[in-house]
Chain A
């Protein structure tokens, strides 16, 4: 199975901050990388698919980049509704494994 490693596991940030989360795959997954966030008590929501494609309805402050083994999710200006746990998921091969998550908290 392809292992996905996210960093950091948690971070504290203020409203308006630029936030970057990284995800590393144990082998090349080309651009087959999805990003989700999950608010407490809610189901995850798809933000980015295929590394850099913004899911319909997702605000443009979210962006994704990377290819091969190293990927980044960036929130350009953190908003109150962005405090959540973020997960990456490789979609290159079965099983489609998730990273361990990054919890974004209020500073």
Chain B
């Protein structure tokens, strides 16, 4: 059974940093593109970042480019999102998702909540 378990969320002040993690199991992690998608409270879905199977190629949305960095450790079956210079509008539930966008995101974690507030 595929499992994606996010962690690392919490309350942080504007300008602060957090690192999210997503522990994957139940599939060959190194064979899949992985992604972060976020959802602000009561709002819709927004693609944040994606990383290819090897980690060699990454994508970041314009809203987080230069502040967030996606990475992965295939030896640990873990996906990361380093979030720096956080802003109030980064407040959201952050989901880890499996799969290339062309195939659809077939599995989602339960999400980890990031709250940016003073």
Contact = CB atoms under 8 A, between A and B. Distances in A.
Interface of A: 1, 32, 34, 36, 43-46, 48-50, 55, 87, 89, 91, 94-101
A10 B102 CA distance: 27
Determine which residue in A43, A50, A99 has the highest number of CB atoms from chain B within 10 A of its CB, and name it: A43
Interface in B62-118: 62, 95, 101-106, 108-111
Contact of B45 (A46, A48, A87, A94): A87
A43 B109 contact: yes
Interface residues of B, number: 19
Given A87-B44, A87-B45, A94 B59 contact: yes
Contacts of B105: 34, 36, 44, 46
24 contacts: A1-B62, A34-B101, A34-B104, A36-B104, A43-B108, A43-B110, A44-B105, A45-B108, A46-B106, A49-B102, A50-B104, A91-B104, A94-B47, A94-B50, A95-B47, A95-B59, A95-B62, A96-B101, A98-B44, A98-B46, A99-B44, A100-B44, A101-B44, A101-B45
